[in-house]
Amino acid sequence: MTLEEIVKRILEEKKTLTRREVLRMIEERARRAGGLLTLESAALTVASDLGVKFKEEKLKPRMLIRNLVPGLNDVTVAGRIVGVSPVRRFKRQDGREGAVGRLIIADESGELRVLLWDEKADTLKSEGRLIGKVARFSHGYVRRGLDGALELNIGVRGSVEVSPPDIPESEYPPIERFMKKIGEITLKDGEVNVAGVARRVYPLVTFRRNDGSEGKVRRVELEDSTGRVTMVVWNEKVEEVKSLESNAYLEVFGARVKEGIDGNIELHVENKTYMNVMAEKPKRRK
């Protein structure tokens, strides 16, 4: 549905509003979303707030992640965000600064890496708040990354919409689907998402690196119904567990799996790992 069609429908039902007022409301909603909604999605949100309903239209089948192949252009894909990495900035050969942010999204058919380039990378300023939300990525192109995995690239022509009002959350698997039980973690996993209760929180330890700079590390014993694991939190991430107390609930996304010196599995929390610390386990709808 186009912006003009949505505006026309609003004016038909809300005869006290002028076209200028409706457009102003839509622009304000888009502005407040910080670029995470297109004007069409902002218009649908305004219409919903005003109580304007639309008859269900027959929509095109949505693109599933498993159907993507290298070389596709002008691709639109939606999925639940299950991973977020910090934005990396770099210098191009012509001296200009570039930026790239990485997300992992998932639908019922699989997972996909999404690369957001330059100004689109600013979407990740909210980082952890994006975890678990459904997002739509439009006008992207698909190619293989250096590791051979498929990547959806969103550049200057692309757009990003977080929680678009026309996409039901129920169409995508819940975030719990992408969490691993502690007792199931193996060294082959590489990286995992995990959740549990902090049963023991060790004191902060500082150390000197070879270059003379100071490093920080803190260990936390994390427990779920299947077992316990030591979580090793490094450097700037230590600030996020500075006030952590026993029995707090943690969700950890993108922890690196390593073997400790005692031969047991450890989860290492580094710069690209996202942690969500809560007083208790959240209650989510299945």
Q: In tens digits, what is the pLDDT along the chain, a chain of 286 residues? A: 677 888 888 998 888 999 899 888 988 887 776 655 667 777 888 888 888 876 654 444 578 898 888 888 888 999 999 888 888 899 988 888 999 999 999 999 989 999 999 988 887 776 557 888 999 999 999 999 888 889 999 998 899 999 888 888 888 999 888 899 999 999 999 999 999 999 999 999 999 998 999 999 999 999 999 999 999 999 999 998 988 988 999 999 989 999 999 999 999 999 888 888 887 776 654 4
- Considering the domain boundaries, does residue 12 fall inside one? yes
The pTM of the whole model exceeds 0.75: no
Residues 6+ apart with CB under 8 A from 38: 30, 138, 159, 161, 164
Q: What angle do CA 2, 33, 118 make, to 5 degrees?
A: 95
- pLDDT recorded at residue 258: 96
Closest CA to 78 of 148, 156, 149, 154: 154
- Considering the domain boundaries, does residue 59 fall inside one? no
Distance between CA atoms of 177 and 82, rounded to whole angstroms?
10
Q: Are 83 and 101 within 8 A, CB to CB?
A: no
Distance between CA atoms of 126 and 46, rounded to whole angstroms?
23
- Considering the domain boundaries, does residue 130 fall inside one? yes
CA dihedral defined by 95, 143, 165, 46, rounded to 10 degrees?
40
Domain count, the chain: 3
Closest CA to 103 of 134, 146, 72, 63: 134
Q: Identify whether residues 45 and 127 lie together within a single domain.
A: no
At 248 the three-state DSSP class reads coil
Q: Are 161 and 41 within 8 A, CB to CB?
A: yes
Distance between CA atoms of 143 and 63, rounded to whole angstroms?
16
Q: Give the end of a domain, one of 138, 154, 171.
A: 171
- Considering the domain boundaries, does residue 135 fall inside one? yes
Q: Identify whether residues 124 and 197 lie together within a single domain.
A: no
- pLDDT recorded at residue 286: 46
Q: Give the end of a domain, one of 138, 171, 204.
A: 171
Considering Cα of 28, then 134, then 104, then 67, what sign does the dihedral take? negative
- Considering the domain boundaries, does residue 104 fall inside one? yes
With 0-12 / 13-18 / 19 or more C-beta atoms within 10 angstroms meaning exposed / middle / buried, residue 154 is buried
CA 217 to centroid of chain Cα atoms: 26
> Which CA distances in Å does 79 have to 76, 108, 147?
10, 9, 22
Maximum distance among all alpha carbons in the chain? Answer: 72
Q: Identify whether residues 187 and 256 lie together within a single domain.
A: yes
Distance between CA atoms of 123 and 250, rounded to whole angstroms?
24
Q: Identify whether residues 203 and 240 lie together within a single domain.
A: yes
Distance between CA atoms of 125 and 161, rounded to whole angstroms?
14
Range of the domain at 33: 3-49
- pLDDT recorded at residue 259: 95
- pLDDT recorded at residue 86: 80
Closest CA to 14 of 58, 55, 38, 47: 47
> Which CA distances in Å does 111 have to 5, 123, 141, 149, 214?
34, 20, 16, 10, 37
Three-state SS string across 15-53, please?
CCCCHHHHHHHHHHHHHHCCCCCCHHHHHHHHHHHCCCC
- Considering the domain boundaries, does residue 153 fall inside one? yes
Query: Ramachandran region of residue 207, left (φ > 0), alpha (ψ -120 to 50) or beta?
Result: beta
What's 268's domain CATH number?
Answer: 2.40.50.140
Q: Identify whether residues 165 and 204 lie together within a single domain.
A: no
